[in-house]
Amino acid sequence: MDIETRILEILGEALELPPQRLVELGRDSALLGAIPELDSMGVLAVIHLLEERFGFIIGDEEIDGTTFATLGTLADFVAEKLGG
């Protein structure tokens, strides 16, 4: 399973999004500001699940608004954390 698919599963679980909303999301789909459920608490829930599912720790200094700008930017961040 690719990173973007795993992230979509995490977004669905953390934000309690129905599957039909997730299938509409692609690499260039906006996240912050476009998904109302992705507020500050939603971001924390997503970060927690990313750390748990991918087995890394995300430091506060590592993320900003651009990390969650699109599905693609979040996937690129995760890929970088995984070493490639």
Confidence of residue 84 (pLDDT cuts 50, 70, 90): low
| Structural domains present in the chain | 3-81 (1.10.1200.10)
Percentage of residues in the chain with pLDDT exceeding 90? 96
| pLDDT score at 51 | 98
- φ/ψ of residue 15, rounded to 5: -100, 0
**Which pTM value belongs to this model?**
0.94
> Beta partners for 70?
30
pLDDT in tens, 57-81: 999 999 998 999 999 999 999 999 9
Q: 17 with 84: CB under 8 angstroms?
A: no
pLDDT in tens, 21-38: 999 999 999 999 999 999
Helix (H/G/I), strand (E/B), else coil: 73 = helix
Question: Which pair of tokens denotes residue 19?
Answer: 């599957």
54/7 Cα distance (integer angstroms): 10
